[in-house]
Structure 1
Amino acid sequence: MEKDQTDNATHAAPVRLAFRVSYLGSRFFGSQMQASSRTVEGEFVAACQRLSLFEDWREAGFLFAGRTDRGVHATGQVAAFTTAAPDRAIQTINTRLPPDCWCTGYAEVPPQFHPRFDARSRTYRYFYAERPRDVEPMKIAAAAFLGIHNFSSFARVEDRNPLRTILRISVMETDGFVCLEVTAESFLWHQVRSMAAALYLVGNGEAETDSIARLLTSPGEKTLQPAPAEGLILYETDCGITWNPLSPHERSSGFVRNLCRHHALMEHICRAVKPE
């Protein structure tokens, strides 16, 4: 009888789980799995395999909601996979992920759930390392992005449809930084960073407030250099999920605390030793 119970537990019906994922992108070569580089997907799959949540990530239907480039961070990435050990996944996933990646929420989802195709929208935030001279023109210029536009001048399009729908956009000040927040159904490669770069030129007086509208109505005539990746966060992916909260492991909490302390110290030292 005990053996039957053990077998039943081992061969429990598979459950599809979704996780809301945060990571600091500085030490990752992007999110998408690569054979010879450290990536978020690669670390996540390795953690799941160490926990025996699945053997083959393809058979488990392991998916992320989208890719982020090297150096880009996230608070709202979504991962999904199917496992016969959902309780173990929920209880232990944060103990096996590296300190610069952790889950903040989970949910049981339908077997066919696809975090990329089922995403209703994605929200990014871009924090400018250097403050522009005037934020108000940026706010005016940003409004031109709203709606459906051809983003050939603001992205690496290749063979994809250049039309994208911007649902919400704002330029705001938070925690001492100027921040661009933009929500769309989907984005092209480098799109948000190029939008951020264009708005920075406006804020610095290097471009007129109507320059955004001109680039949108004459797509492809000029391709903008994207802003640096370090300021970009995949802030939220809306898949219509109500998340159950998950607490990060102390390794991740301690890693972030130490990182904050290190950069605060380096800011102080740089101010002390900077050349006059």
Structure 2
Amino acid sequence: MGTQVSDGDYVASLQARVKELEAENANLLSRLAHCHCSQDDQILYGPDYKDAKVTEPKKSNGESQRKIRNKPGYSTAFLSHHSKRYVALKVMYFGKRFYGFSAEAQMEPSVESEIFKALKTTRLLVGDKKDSQYSRCGRTDKGVSSVGQVIALFLRSKLKISGVNNGSSGEYVFEEKHEGELDYVRVINRELPNDIRVLGWCPVPVDFHARFSCLSREYKYFFWKENLNILAMKTAGTKLLGEHDFRNFCKMDAANVHTYMRCISMFDISPTDVSYDGNQLWVIKFRGRAFLWHQVRCMVAVLFLVGQGLESPDVRI
């Protein structure tokens, strides 16, 4: 036979359970009072963090990933009173799904637009893109990947202002200090898609320009050897070394380019340690200070014609 429970006993058990829950709730509140999570979030996202709505969408592996949804009318202008510092970020990305690096092509997605979305979400961007004194090392085309893209801009700093005030640029931290600074790499990567990663950062002087301060750029083009004549390709490639007029090896951009003279300081074709079904993966390398629009693609295309026997290794530049 089942045990009979009177109404009085049932009410008493409920009251006891309510007291247990109240005690547990009080314990949790006490523990939360000693938690510094909110302080860390205000350090990362600014003093107005409490006004933002926080959601926790699920990742594919079941873990939750915190995302901050800006309240309506949100602007980075309110961050202008924060100290800031000029930094260079080293970025890598897998370019297969992107319409190039630059957001100016107005084709989405682009690597640059994803980076600035992350900077705005994390509230590291002080003001807008114009105010950040932004520069980039180069613009890769659709489908091109990079392991060493460099961008430079002003980001919010946790360090105290160093007493510099140059009018329109505002106040900023200029020392080469790292201790106590925001972990820019971790904060930005938390909001970036998986095919874009920030590898590192360093403080740079305000006259640094990611494009014009660059000493050299190196491009690699990977290909399967198949039946290509590698020796002929090497012979043709060495003729590209040095300074030449490369107008026949690029996509013309007469509105922005005033000279087509470029210098190739290094050329190499070598095998990698990757092979598949008897076919080995090779890599073509070019290094120079600057390249024209589609110059690398055009040079590689000519080398392939030479490797297929459709052009002479003595092809003229």
| TM-score, L = length of structure 1 | 0.70
Q: What is the aligned partner in structure 1 of residue 10 from structure 2?
A: none
Give deviations 1:149-191, integer Å, cap 9, x for gaps: 0111110132211110001011111123121100011000110
Distance 2:112 2:205 in 1: 21
Deviation for aligned residue 1:62 = 2.3
Label 1:122 to 1:132 Cα distance change in 2 as closer, same or farther (>3 A). Answer: farther
Structure 1 segments, 4+ long, off by >3 Å, are: 9-13, 129-132
| 1:226 alignment counterpart | none
Does residue 89 (structure 1) correspond to residue 193 (structure 2)? The answer is: no
Deviations 1:204-236 (A, max 9, x none): 21111101xx1x1xxxxxxxxxxxxxxxxxxxx
Deviation per residue, 1:230-269 (Å, 9 max, x gap) = xxxxxxxxxxxxxxxxxxxxxxxxxxxxxxxxxxxxxxxx
Specify the SS of the correspondent of 1:87.
coil
Contact 1:41-1:64 at 8 Å conserved across structures: no
From 238, 249, 261, the equivalent of 1:163 is 261
How many residue pairs align between the two structures? Answer: 208
Secondary structure (helix, strand or coil) at the match of 1:53 reads coil
The question of 1:197 aligning with 2:301 is answered yes
1:98 to 193, 198, 201: 193
- 1:91-150 superposed Cα distances (whole Å, 9 cap, x missing partner): 311111111110122211111211011111100001125634221111111110111001
RMSD: 2.2
% identity of equivalent residues: 33
Structure ID, larger Rg: 2
Q: How does 1:27-38 map to 2 (within 5 A)?
A: 27-34=97-104, 35=106, 37-38=108-109
Give, as a single letter, the amino acid of the residue that structure 2 aligns with 1:178.
Answer: W
Contact 1:17 1:108 survives alignment (8 Å)? yes
1:50 to 98, 101, 121: 121
* Structure 1 position 134 matched with structure 2 position 229: yes
In structure 2, the residue matched to 1:66 is: 138
SS of aligned partner of 2:103: coil
Is residue 95 of structure 2 the alignment partner of residue 25 of structure 1? yes
- How many Å apart are 1:71 and its aligned residue? 0.7
Structure 1 residue 82: Cα displacement = 0.6
Alignment of 1:175-186 (within 5 A): 175=274, 176-186=280-290
* TM-aligned CA deviation for residue 63 of structure 1: 2.3
Match of 2:151 in 1: 79
Taking the aligned partners of 2:195 and 2:312, their CA distance within structure 1 comes to 40
| Residue 17 of structure 1: how far off its partner (Å) | 1.1
- TM-score, length basis structure 2: 0.62
* 1:13, distance to aligned residue in structure 2 (A): 3.3
Change over 3 Å in CA distance of 1:47–1:58 after alignment to 2: same
Structure-1 separation of matches of 2:310 and 2:282: 17
| Cα gap change, 1:50 to 1:147, in 2 (>3 Å) | same
